[in-house]
Structure formats: C-alpha cells, structure tokens
C-alpha cells in the first residue's frame, strides 16, 4: 500500500501497477466513508483509527474491488452506484448506460470531488496535459454533471488526487 491524498478530511491508498487503483476514506464528524476500497496491509487499522465506518461506496458498477468484504468486516452498509445523497455527499451522475454505470461524490461543504473512473491522474487520462484528465472513453461525450462543480480537491479512482 502506498499512502496518498493525506488531508484533514481523510486519506487514500494506491495499489501500484498499470491501473494504479486508488481508494479513499473520508472522515465526517467521526464517521468514515470508504470509497472503492481495495484491501491492503494496514488499511483496516487506519480506518478504525480514523473513526467509525459509516458506509462503503462503490462509484462504478464494475469497480467491485473489495467493497463487499469491507462492508461485511466493518458491519457497514454497501452503496453500489448510489442515486441519492449519502451523509454530506451529493451524488453526481456520470454514466447510466447498460455497460457503464458511474456516479461521483461531491462534498460541497469541503469542496471535495471523488471520481471512480471519470477523472484520473495517471498518464492515459491526462496525456501529459495538466495533472488530471477525463477517462479516454468519455472524451467524445463528457459527463455534464461535473461542469457546475468547482472543487478544491479532486480524488480519483486511478492515481493520486489533486489539491491535497
């Protein structure tokens, strides 16, 4: 596990490799929300130290990762591609296609945006232009829901975040 995205409202961890799968824990008043978590050494202890697990959120239908296992282990509800507000998070639709269902989380009070696949910071997302880019398959028809947001922090499902 490589720790990333350390900031006052949470932390992230990356499993190295081509896809650089990044998971996050957001802390809200002693509650910890896990987003697209991947199991790795030390993660459970880190989550428990941060607070009480309030829920596990899977942002992309095919991002099973270890969401079910985390929800069972912590006795927390699992929210797979949710459509309604969760705690302080607004749900922003990205895609609702038969083969691609994805939402993002927007935490307006803290200016934090969390994306599973829509935005990323690894090479094939940004192609050397800027620090964050759109998923290659979304470039021809970008998601409209993100346009209205002005995040201070962007946390991605692939690569380290921006603004942390």
CA distance 21 to 122: 10
Residue 121 pLDDT: 78
The residues, ordered by sequence, that sit 6+ positions from 35 with a Cβ below 8 Å of its Cβ are: 23, 24, 25, 26, 56, 57, 59, 105, 114, 116, 155
66-84 tens-digit pLDDT = 999 999 999 999 999 999 9
When the candidates are 3.30.1450.10, 3.60.15.10, 3.40.50.300, 3.40.50.2300, the CATH number that belongs to 2-156 is 3.60.15.10
7: nearest Cα among 107, 135, 137: 107
The residues, ordered by sequence, that sit 6+ positions from 45 with a Cβ below 8 Å of its Cβ are: none
Each domain of the chain, given as residue ranges in start order, spans 2-156
Query: pTM for the full model?
Result: 0.91
95-150 tens-digit pLDDT = 998 888 999 999 999 999 999 988 887 766 666 667 777 776 677 777 888 889 99
């Amino acid at each position: 596990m490589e720790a990333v995205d350390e900031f006052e409202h949470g932390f992230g961890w990356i499993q190295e490799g081509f896809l650089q799968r990044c998971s996050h824990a957001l802390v809200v008043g002693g509650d910890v929300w896990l987003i697209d978590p991947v199991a790795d050494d030390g993660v459970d202890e880190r989550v428990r130290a941060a607070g009480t697990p309030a829920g596990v959120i899977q942002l992309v239908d095919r991002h099973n990762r270890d969401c079910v296992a985390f929800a069972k282990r912590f006795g927390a509800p699992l929210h797979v591609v949710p459509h309604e507000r969760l705690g302080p998070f607004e749900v922003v639709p990205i895609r609702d296609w038969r083969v691609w269902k994805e939402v993002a989380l927007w935490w307006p009070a803290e200016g934090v945006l969390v994306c599973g696949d829509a935005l990323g910071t690894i090479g094939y997302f940004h192609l050397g232009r800027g620090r964050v880019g759109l998923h290659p398959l979304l470039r021809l028809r970008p998601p409209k829901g993100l346009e209205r947001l002005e995040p201070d922090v962007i946390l991605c499902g692939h690569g380290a975040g921006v603004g942390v």
